Structures are given as C-alpha cells and as structure tokens.
Chain A
C-alpha cells in the first residue's frame, strides 16, 4: 500500500498557479541573492512583477523579444546567477525554442523557464495564445527537466525544486484559478510522482489543471462502483518510472489526462514507460491534433472532453479493454 499525498483540508479554495509562482519567486529572491528574473513585457500577467518590485536590481524586463531573453538568461547564468525567465508558454517555448536549445540546453545553463498561460485554460484569447505543444517541445530537449504543477502548493514546490536542481528546468503554469489540491506539508521531488487516491480498477494519471478533473472523475467512478487510482505526475522529465509500472501492474490500465496535445506530450511520456516496461491498455485524453478556440476556460475544458465527467466515461470505456 502506497502512502497517499497529503491533501488540502481547505474548502474549495482556488488560486492560479501563476499567482503562486509570483509569491514563491518573491520568497526565493528574499532568501537567495543569486536569483535573477527576466520577463518579456508580461510581468503583470506572469506575476514576475512581484519580484521586480521587491528586487528591482535583479529584475530585467527584456521587452517583447523572447529569443533575446533566453540568450540573455544564458549569459547571466554564465556569471553565477540562477536565472528565472518568464513569458507566456507560447512565446517562451514556441518562439524562443531555438535559443532555448542552443544557448540553454546544449551548454546546460542554470536557467529556469517558468511560463504561464499554458494550455486551453488561457480561454478567451484563443488558439494563438493557447499553448498546447510546450510539453512536447521541452521534454524532447536533452538536459531539460519538465515540471507541470497542479496547484498553488505544488507550484511553490516546483519553484524551490527548480532553484535546487542544476541546469535547465521548465515549469508550466496556468492563467486560470484552479482548486488547491495539496496540503501545505506536500513535498515535490524530482522524478517522483504521487498517489492522491488509491484504487485497483483503473489508474488515471494527470498533471497540471487536469489533476483536479481526475479527482472529480474518480468520485464519479466510485459512484459506479469503480475504484480509480489517481496519480499525479507533475515531474514529466524525469518521469517516475517505478510509479507508472506499479500502477500498470496494480490497475491493469492507465488513462492519461493533459491540457495539451496528446502527440508528444504528457500521455506520450507515460505511454513510453508503459510500452517499454509493462504494457497494459492505455488511452490518452487531451487535444487530439487540433488547436483550441476562444471561450471561458471551463467551457473549453468541457467542449474538448477534458472535464471530470468525460474522463470518467473514457476510463470506463478503457476498462473494457483490460484482460479479464
């Protein structure tokens, strides 16, 4: 029996992970003089402005020039700084992918790319801003660590872990306010996932905003006498191979959920482990080769089948493929 992750005892508190990032970064900067923060004219939205106001000497706004920001971050890291570089996920990983590869990953610089406004839950800004390919773009890079925190508590942990982990780290953050899932005593470790609720009929593995939807799905499934294990895999690279293999053995089927393209994304990372170590039936929930559109975040999550009830139905369908 696994130890379950400590869960929040608060009632229905909602905080955006980007807001938690701003606060965590401020506290990190208060503790550590080597922290330098860069932004690309979105510091109010990414919440790096909180750090910038407290530590103006260690905050540099690079303007609307994300590629240059990433190169500048690499150069600053050469002078012994731990550099946090933020923008929207679209621009930080999409527009600036090449300098991230060339100037940060190849020389293994101490740069932490903390990008907000990832995924569908950007909402009304629509497909140009809904970054659905960033996990793919970052996890494919050698030396890059990828962390997708699910709530404010895990975001603070991700910021601490990024600081303590040498070399490049990508942290994916969201715009929308989302439920606080974890208790304050929760600790995130590199390459380690967590079980939030145990069951042996099906495993739902999720990251980011989809973890709360997975918990809703597990409640729905319980009412149908199906006991689901819910696994949080915030750390996608390196991923918790032991926990995925254990879940495959224990549950016999794994459903993944992500606010991202399923091609090359989170589910793909889980599937690689399953295929190589313990093949069981799998299904991947996420965006299936499609861009998003404008709309309120919660409407979009429902429209594209990423909500708890949809996950529950997909889990039940997947269970039918289990070997009896």
Chain B
C-alpha cells in the first residue's frame, strides 16, 4: 500500500528532525560522522516509521523486527531515530561519544535501547543480520531483519560472503539498504575503488535488488513493500543519496565524512535545516 500524503509528510518531518539532531550531536561530541547520517535520514526515517516493527513495548519480544547498522559510523542518525521511537532519552543524545554514555561512537548492543547489535568494523553487519534472519526462520518467528550497508562497505570481502549465504539459504526475511553516495573517506569512490553496479551484483548473487532515489520517501517505501512481498530470496535496496544532504557545505563532500562542525557551522547547519536556533 502506497504512503498516504500525511505519512509521507510525517516521514519528511522526522527526517528533518533527525538531521538537526545529527549535527547537534556531532557538534556536542566534538567529533563523529555527520555526512553519512544526513544522507541516510530519508530512507532510514521511512524504514523506522513505516516498516520496522520495533517499539518500547516490544523491544525485548521474540517476534519484533531486528535492525543492524552495518555502516556503524553513521549511528548519530540511528540514535536520533531510536529517540524518535521513545527508546532513547532525548537528553542522552547530547552525551553521544562521551565517557560513560550508552551511545558509543559506534553502536554497542543494548536491547533496552533497541540497539540490536554491535557494529563499527565495516563488513561485519550483513553476516550478523543474515544469522538473525536464519535464526528467526528457525524459530518460526514472524520477524524481519533489516541491515544497512554502503557503497564503501561493499569493498569489504565479508559482505559478499554474506550475500552468498543469505541467497543460498533463501532468507526472504532479510533486507539490506545500501547507502550509495559515491563518497568514501579518501575521496570519490570511483577514484579510490569503484564497486560499480551494486544492483547487478546483488541480483547476480541471487538477491531481489532494486535501485531507488534514497531521498524519495515514496520510492523507498515502495521498495520496502516489495521486499516484504519477496519471500523466497533476500532483498537489496540500493539507495542513491547525497552525503551531507540538507547542509549545503557538507553536501557531496568527502571532507564531512568524519568531521564535527564548529559553533558557526552548527548555527548555519541548523538554520538551513529549519531549526529554531537556541
């Protein structure tokens, strides 16, 4: 079923709030990764609001959905979405990366907060997500497993080991969303190490793969619906995005992969993101 106009508006509103939280969090931490989560905010918000069956009430139940942030460095946006869902206290967001905080610089498994798994080392997430999907099927749980990945992470060999096994086991309850922004730390992906056509690669590995505009919440929603209907093979959604989306000086700039904005840059970012600057 297609998104209603109200649902699409709500997702876009939340995505904007997530972006505001991301720049505030990374600014407060004085370090972190703002570019990725800004780019992922639209498709992540679509997933978390419209599809991911995870809430304060069911966070410890067997048949909830699972989520693995394969590109763990983009966790500022993930934490902001868990706060939107009431799983993380809003005050805690500004303790991101601080000593003793539950919001580690890369996610650490904490089921109370809705954080299903520890990630950070690229390449490890999809294998774990496939294992969760296999276990859910073994237990006859009606739960889906969602995992994010990225174009840069697709350079890791373990991703393709996991892609092979997930297809071999026919894990129709597994969906990977690949953030494809053509940027990696050292520069443009095509200049550093081109992963080429990920839709064709995932299809060749036996997945149901589609490519969408990762900022088009209606298209992302349709792809997630199609993934649910694909029950005999895992689904890959290649989401084309712009790194740093919504903050002009961060857009399409590899320099903003892992740098915190200063006070002036934060003020400009929040102004561009339409936030009331306090």
- Please tell me which one of the listed residues A74, A102, A107 contacts residue B131 in the complex, with CB atoms under 8 A apart: A74
- Report yes or no: A107 in contact with B118, Cβ–Cβ below 8 A: yes
- Report yes or no: B165 in contact with A62, Cβ–Cβ below 8 A: yes
Interface residues as binary, A56-92 with B (CB distance below 8 Å gives 1, 0 otherwise): 0110101101011011111111111100000000000
- Please tell me which one of the listed residues A57, A75, A81, A107 contacts residue B127 in the complex, with CB atoms under 8 A apart: A75
A102-B118, A102-B121 known; A79+B132 contact, CB < 8 A: yes
A interface secondary structure, majority: helix
- Report yes or no: B139 in contact with A79, Cβ–Cβ below 8 A: yes
A68-B127, A72-B134 known; A60+B169 contact, CB < 8 A: yes
A171 vs chain B, min Cβ distance (A) = 20
Distance between Cα atoms of A106 and B108 in the complex (Å): 8
- Report yes or no: B138 in contact with A58, Cβ–Cβ below 8 A: yes
A71-B158, A73-B131, A78-B66 known; A63+B108 contact, CB < 8 A: no
Distance between Cα atoms of A75 and B66 in the complex (Å): 10
- Report yes or no: A75 in contact with B130, Cβ–Cβ below 8 A: yes
Q: Which of B116, B120, B162 has the most CB of A within 10 A?
A: B162
- Please tell me which one of the listed residues B108, B157, B162 contacts residue A71 in the complex, with CB atoms under 8 A apart: B162
B52 vs chain A, min Cβ distance (A) = 16
Residues from chain A with a CB closer than 8 A to the CB of B108 are: 106-107
- Report yes or no: B164 in contact with A65, Cβ–Cβ below 8 A: yes
Q: Is B249 interfacial (CB-CB < 8 Å)?
A: no
Residues from chain B with a CB closer than 8 A to the CB of A76 are: 131-132, 134-135, 138
- Please tell me which one of the listed residues A58, A74, A80, A81 contacts residue B128 in the complex, with CB atoms under 8 A apart: A74
Of residues 122 to 179 in B, which have CB atoms within 8 Å of A's CB atoms? 123-136, 138-139, 141, 157-158, 161-162, 164-165, 168-169
A174 vs chain B, min Cβ distance (A) = 27
Residues from chain B with a CB closer than 8 A to the CB of A80 are: 62, 135, 139
Tally of contacts, chain A with chain B, CB under 8 A: 107
Distance between Cα atoms of A36 and B139 in the complex (Å): 12
- Please tell me which one of the listed residues B62, B128, B134, B161 contacts residue A103 in the complex, with CB atoms under 8 A apart: B128
- Report yes or no: A78 in contact with B121, Cβ–Cβ below 8 A: no
B interface secondary structure, majority: helix
Distance between Cα atoms of A133 and B125 in the complex (Å): 26
A72-B130, A76-B131, A79-B135 known; A67+B118 contact, CB < 8 A: no
- Report yes or no: A68 in contact with B165, Cβ–Cβ below 8 A: yes
Chain A residue nearest to B141 (CB atoms) is: A79
B54 vs chain A, min Cβ distance (A) = 14
Q: Is A242 interfacial (CB-CB < 8 Å)?
A: no
- Report yes or no: B162 in contact with A68, Cβ–Cβ below 8 A: yes
Q: Is B109 interfacial (CB-CB < 8 Å)?
A: yes
Q: Which of A73, A78, A107 has the most CB of B within 10 A?
A: A78
A75-B128, A99-B158, A102-B124 known; A107+B117 contact, CB < 8 A: yes
- Please tell me which one of the listed residues B109, B125, B127, B132 contacts residue A67 in the complex, with CB atoms under 8 A apart: B127
Residues from chain B with a CB closer than 8 A to the CB of A27 are: none
Given A78-B117, A79-B62, 15 other A-B residues pairs in contact with their CB atoms under 8 A? A60-B134, A68-B158, A71-B128, A71-B158, A72-B131, A74-B117, A74-B128, A76-B135, A79-B132, A79-B135, A79-B136, A80-B135, A80-B139, A99-B121, A99-B158
A-B contact pairs, 29 of them (CB 8 A): A36-B135, A36-B138, A57-B138, A60-B169, A67-B158, A68-B130, A68-B158, A68-B161, A71-B124, A72-B127, A72-B128, A72-B131, A72-B162, A73-B131, A75-B132, A76-B134, A76-B138, A78-B135, A79-B131, A79-B132, A79-B138, A79-B139, A80-B135, A98-B124, A99-B158, A102-B120, A103-B128, A106-B118, A107-B108
The 9 lowest CB-CB distance pairs between A and B, nearest first, are A75-B131, A71-B127, A79-B135, A68-B161, A72-B131, A65-B161, A107-B109, A75-B132, A75-B128
